[in-house]
Amino acid sequence: MEIELKLAVEDGALASIESDFLPTLDASVARTEKAVFNDYYDTPDYTLGKRRMGFRVRSTDGQFEQTVKTQGQVQGGLHQRPEYNLALSSPVPDLTRFPKDIWGDDFDVEAIGRRLSKLFTTHFTRTQFDIKTDAGHVELVLDIGEVSRGDNTLPIQEIELELKSGAPKLLFDIAQGLAKVMPVRLSNITKAARGYQLVQGARPNVQSLPKFLSLLADDTTEAGFCKAIECALAHWQYHQGLFLQTQDAKALTQVREALLLLMQSVSLYLPVLQSDSLLVLHKKLLSMVQQWSWQKDLISIHQLRSKKGAFCKRVPKNSQLVNYLLGRREGLLLAYKPKELLLSSLSSDIQLSASRLLIEKPWRTQTDGAQIPVKKHANGWLSQSWQTLMQSLPRNGKMDAVKYLSIEILLKQSLLNGFLLGDLFADSRGHFRAPWLDLLQGIEELKALAFLKDAMHECEVDDPLDFQKWMQQKSESLLAVMERSREIAMDAEVYW
Q: State whether 46 and 167 are in the same domain.
A: yes
At which of 147, 166, 200 does a domain end? 200
Q: State whether 170 and 264 are in the same domain.
A: no
Q: State whether 32 and 62 are in the same domain.
A: yes
Q: State whether 244 and 308 are in the same domain.
A: yes
Q: Indicate the number of domains in the chain.
A: 2
At which of 137, 165, 200 does a domain end? 200
Is 159 inside any structural domain?
yes
Cβ contact 231:213 at 8 Å = yes
Is 210 inside any structural domain?
no
Residue whose C-alpha is closest to residue 418's, from 446, 392, 383, 450: 383
**What does the alpha-carbon distance between residue 312 and residue 292 come to, in Å, rounded to a whole number?**
27
Query: Which domain CATH number covers 194?
Result: 2.40.320.10
Q: Strand, coil or helix: what is 322?
A: helix
**What does the alpha-carbon distance between residue 411 and residue 391 come to, in Å, rounded to a whole number?**
12
**What does the alpha-carbon distance between residue 329 and residue 302 come to, in Å, rounded to a whole number?**
9
**What does the alpha-carbon distance between residue 222 and residue 377 come to, in Å, rounded to a whole number?**
12
Residue whose C-alpha is closest to residue 306's, from 446, 466, 448: 448
* pLDDT on residue 72: 64
Amino acid letter, residue 70: T
Is 286 inside any structural domain?
yes
Residue 159 buriedness (CB in 10 A; 0-12 / 13-18 / 19+): buried
Q: State whether 250 and 346 are in the same domain.
A: yes
Is 214 inside any structural domain?
no
In a structure prediction context, what are the per-residue pLDDT tens digits for the chain, which is 496 residues long? 567 899 999 999 999 999 999 999 999 999 999 999 999 999 999 999 888 888 999 999 889 999 998 876 666 656 666 889 999 999 999 999 999 888 888 899 999 999 999 999 999 999 999 999 999 999 999 999 999 998 899 999 999 999 999 998 999 999 999 999 999 999 888 888 889 888 888 778 999 999 999 999 999 999 999 999 999 999 999 999 999 989 999 999 999 999 999 999 999 999 999 899 999 999 999 999 999 999 999 999 999 999 888 898 889 888 889 999 999 999 999 999 999 999 999 999 999 999 999 999 999 988 888 999 999 999 999 999 999 999 999 988 899 999 999 999 999 999 999 999 999 998 888 789 999 999 999 999 999 999 999 998 888 887 888 999 999 999 999 999 999 999 999 999 999 9
Concatenated DSSP letters of 342-401: HTSHHHHHHHHHHHHHHHH-GGGGT-SGGGSBTHHHHHHHHHHHHHHHHTTS-SSS---H
Residue whose C-alpha is closest to residue 7's, from 154, 244, 178, 251: 178
Query: Which domain CATH number covers 343?
Result: 1.40.20
* pLDDT on residue 135: 92
* pLDDT on residue 492: 92
* pLDDT on residue 1: 56
Phi then psi for residue 196, to 5 deg, are -65, -30
**What does the alpha-carbon distance between residue 5 and residue 3 come to, in Å, rounded to a whole number?**
7
**What does the alpha-carbon distance between residue 319 and residue 459 come to, in Å, rounded to a whole number?**
11
Domain that holds residue 184: 2-200
Is 209 inside any structural domain?
no
**What does the alpha-carbon distance between residue 294 and residue 282 come to, in Å, rounded to a whole number?**
20
* pLDDT on residue 487: 95
Q: State whether 107 and 243 are in the same domain.
A: no
Q: CA angle, corner 322, sides to 317 and 324, nearest 5?
A: 150
Q: State whether 51 and 161 are in the same domain.
A: yes
pTM of the model: 0.90
Phi then psi for residue 58, to 5 deg, are -105, 140
Cβ contact 5:79 at 8 Å = yes
Is 205 inside any structural domain?
no
